[in-house]
């Protein structure tokens, strides 16, 4: 997983943790800012600011430390915990698309019917439409 992809997972993890830990705070998980952390010229993580909390994600350790504004560590999340929290957030926010199923028609039948119908339509279109005439240059 690339750092940018992992960063999205970490963001979702933080949203989930803050929303679950502080359900009464309406804007607890609204980010107020982000900063890139550089050590000895190399990217080493991200710092996130929220209204009542701050968090630091350390890339090499794959660890997130969540602190209150006074600097007290409230939680430390690692690898699998980060993934689980992010999945929980995504499942909570997912909006499944409605599907329309036709009773009595299997998926294979409808696909073969559609393929045959589109081929017939293509032949009909090519037979009825006049071919474009080429003009001399």
Q: Residue 32 — φ and ψ, nearest 5°? A: -105, -15
Is residue 102 within 8 A of residue 119, CB to CB? The reply is: no
Q: What is the pLDDT of residue 98?
A: 47
| Nearest-angstrom CA–CA distance, 81 and 118 | 49
pLDDT number for residue 107: 53
| The predicted structure's pLDDT at residue 121 | 46
Which residues are CB-neighbours of 19 under 8 A, at least 6 positions away?
28, 29, 89
| Encoded tokens for 135 | 């003009």
- In the block, tokens 């240059």 appear at 137
Task: Give the model's pLDDT for residue 110.
Answer: 47
Cα–Cα distances in angstroms (integers) from residue 137 to residues 93, 118, 131, 134, in the given order: 60, 36, 19, 9
- Tokens encoding 137: 């240059």
Backbone dihedral angles phi then psi of residue 41, each to the nearest 5 degrees:
85, 5
Q: What is the pLDDT of residues 80-116, one digit of tens each?
A: 898 898 888 888 877 544 445 566 655 555 454 444 5
For residue range 17-71, list pLDDT tens digits in order: 988 888 888 787 888 899 999 999 999 999 999 988 999 999 999 999 999 999 9
Q: Confirm if 37 and 47 have CB atoms less than 8 A apart.
A: yes
Integer Cα distance of 56 and 71 in angstroms: 11
pLDDT at 106: 55
Q: Say how far apart CA 134 and CA 137 lie, in whole Å.
A: 9
Give pLDDT, residue 133: 62
Answer whether 0.75 is exceeded by the pTM. Answer: no
């Amino acid at each position: 997983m690339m750092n940018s992809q992992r960063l999205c997972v970490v963001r979702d993890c933080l949203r989930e943790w803050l929303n679950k830990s502080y359900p009464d705070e309406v804007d607890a998980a609204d980010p107020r800012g982000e900063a890139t952390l550089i050590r000895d010229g190399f990217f080493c993580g991200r710092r996130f600011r929220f209204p009542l909390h701050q968090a630091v994600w350390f890339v090499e350790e794959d660890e997130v430390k969540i602190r209150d504004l006074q600097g007290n560590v409230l939680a430390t999340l690692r690898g699998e915990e980060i993934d689980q929290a992010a999945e929980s957030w995504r499942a909570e926010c997912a909006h499944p698309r409605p599907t329309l199923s036709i009773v009595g028609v299997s998926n294979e039948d409808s696909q073969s019917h559609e393929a045959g119908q589109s081929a017939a339509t293509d032949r009909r279109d090519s037979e009825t439409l006049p071919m474009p005439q080429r003009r001399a240059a």
